Amino acid sequence: MSECLFCKILNNEIPSNRVYEDDYVYAFEDINPLAKEHYLFISKNHSENFNDLSSDDLVHIHQAIKKFTSGTKLETDGYRVVTNINSFGGQTVFHTHFHVLGGEQLKGFGV
């Protein structure tokens, strides 16, 4: 979609710091990191959010995150995967993305 920020990143119209890429998925550093490591995993197919994401693309993103973290401190120490959905979920960019946060101890939801 031409007006979508993350489609523009995929098309190299907006620069990003790529950390992972395969045929289906692209991942890059979040511009406003909320943890020492904060990456965004997106499908190369545009979809609005989790509700609109195909099951195939969900699988591709899952596989990409596992490949990316495999053998790293993220895998051994742990990390968090978050996807925000619509207004109450705090979604601000309407191209489905999964935040991968780690590199430090994150606060639990009960803290």
The reply to whether 7 sits near Zn ion by the rule CB under 5 A is: yes
Q: What is the DSSP letter of 44?
A: S
18 binds ligand 5GP (CB under 6 A): no
Q: Minimal CB distance to Zn ion: which residue?
A: 4
- Give the residue ranges of DSSP H helices in 1-111: 5-10, 55-69, 73-77, 86-89
Active site residue 97: yes
Which member of 60, 95, 97, 99 binds Zn ion (CB under 5 A)?
Answer: 95
User: ∠109-38-6 over CA atoms, to 5°?
Assistant: 115
The pair of three-digit structure tokens given for residue 49, joined into one six-digit string: 């959010």
Amino acid in the structure at residue 85: I
Q: Active-site residue numbers?
A: 97
List interacting residues with ligand 5GP (CB under 6 A).
5, 14, 16, 28-32, 40, 84, 90-93
List interacting residues with Zn ion (CB under 5 A).
1, 4, 6-7, 46, 95
